[in-house]
């Protein structure tokens, strides 16, 4: 008896002699699910959905998956405000599928991924301390800036919900004091207890979303639709204005809230597995990389204490060292 995977591959080889990439990738997703590798299958699904969106749902043959096409995909992601590590995530998934096609002798050896980013960049420090969060809660702002502030705080309150996930958060995703949504980057299902501070923010925008399915008027307002690229660009611009008003040395961005939640959690001694689960990371190693360079204040303080306790000479001046 032929398995489901076998039937899909047979159908693909019969109907798509031009070696269409989407169809091949979908067959790999089915194969992963049959092997019980659900998490990896979800990553493939998320990547395929993102790449399909870039291609406007038009499939591409293996031969057309060139360096130029992948570079255009990378530029598309950058315009949408996607960070380089997430771009690398998508590219590495596509590369894995492409290499499978090579291994199965569907296409000849090649590497069209040379010109796109597939590394792991060290996460830059983007976090702010708790005092900035308190200032954001207190400051009086005009309507558009107040909306940007509310979205930033909502992201912080929800353990760093990404801007794209807030933009797509629907009313049906909030039920019985639980927010439940599918993380766009990994496809992982996230559940968050609905706290009073979150309810307060949601309530402020009920009138602006009463004719839509969405929680926030980010992409859809009554009688109006906004492009995602425009929405995230506006959000970061408004956060920059707020940062100037607060006299911050570095401007807040849509990613700052996520980094801040992770940093404060770590500094308060919350175990790594809890932080990892809270952020929707698929592994603790991802969280370790994420936290590695966010905030070195605690390390510097510890180093200062160690130096102070081990130094035999106190008050050594620069002159004495010459």
**pLDDT reading at 59 higher than 80:** yes
Please give the pLDDT value at position 223. 74
DSSP 33-100: HHTT-HHHHHHHHHHHHHHHHHTTT---BGGG--HHHHHHHHHHHHHTT--HHHHHHHHHHHHHHHHH
| Cβ pair 88, 119 in contact under 8 A | yes
Question: Rounded CA gap, 213 and 232, in Å?
Answer: 20
**Whether residue 77 has pLDDT greater than 50:** yes
The reply to whether the predicted model has a pTM over 0.75 is no
Q: Which residue ranges make up each domain of the chain?
A: 4-103, 130-298
pLDDT in tens, 100-125: 999 988 899 999 999 999 987 765 56
Q: What is the pLDDT of residues 266-302, one digit of tens each?
A: 888 887 777 777 777 666 666 665 665 544 555 556 5
Q: What CATH number was assigned to the domain covering residues 130-298?
A: 1.10.443.10
């Amino acid at each position: 008896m032929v398995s489901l995977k076998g039937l899909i591959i047979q159908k693909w080889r019969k109907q798509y002699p031009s070696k269409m990439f989407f169809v091949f990738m979908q067959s790999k997703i089915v194969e992963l699910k049959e092997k019980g590798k659900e998490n990896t299958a979800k990553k493939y699904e998320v990547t395929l959905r993102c790449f399909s969106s870039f291609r406007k749902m038009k499939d591409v043959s293996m031969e057309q998956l060139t360096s130029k096409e992948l570079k255009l995909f990378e530029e598309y992601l950058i315009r949408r405000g996607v960070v380089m590590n997430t771009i690398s995530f998508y590219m590495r998934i596509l590369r894995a599928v492409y290499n499978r096609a090579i291994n199965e002798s569907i296409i000849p050896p090649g590497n069209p991924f040379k010109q796109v980013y597939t590394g792991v960049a060290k996460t830059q420090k983007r976090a702010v301390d708790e005092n900035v969060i308190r200032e954001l809660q207190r400051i009086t702002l005009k309507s558009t800036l107040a909306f940007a502030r509310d979205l930033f705080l909502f992201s912080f309150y929800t353990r760093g919900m990404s801007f794209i996930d807030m933009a797509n958060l629907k009313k049906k995703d909030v039920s019985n004091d639980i927010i439940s949504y599918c993380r766009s980057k990994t496809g992982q299902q996230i559940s968050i207890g609905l706290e009073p501070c979150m309810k307060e923010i949601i309530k402020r925008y009920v009138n602006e979303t009463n004719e839509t399915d969405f929680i926030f008027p980010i992409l859809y307002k009554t009688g109006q639709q906004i492009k995602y690229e425009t929405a995230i660009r506006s959000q970061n611009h408004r956060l920059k204005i707020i940062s100037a008003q607060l006299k911050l040395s570095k401007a807040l961005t849509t990613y700052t809230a996520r980094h801040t939640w992770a940093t404060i959690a770590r500094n308060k001694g919350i175990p790594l597995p809890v932080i990892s689960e809270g952020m929707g990371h698929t592994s603790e190693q991802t969280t370790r990389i994420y936290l590695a360079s966010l905030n070195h204040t605690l390390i510097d303080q510890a180093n200062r204490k160690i130096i102070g306790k081990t130094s035999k000479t106190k008050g050594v001046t620069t002159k004495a060292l010459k």
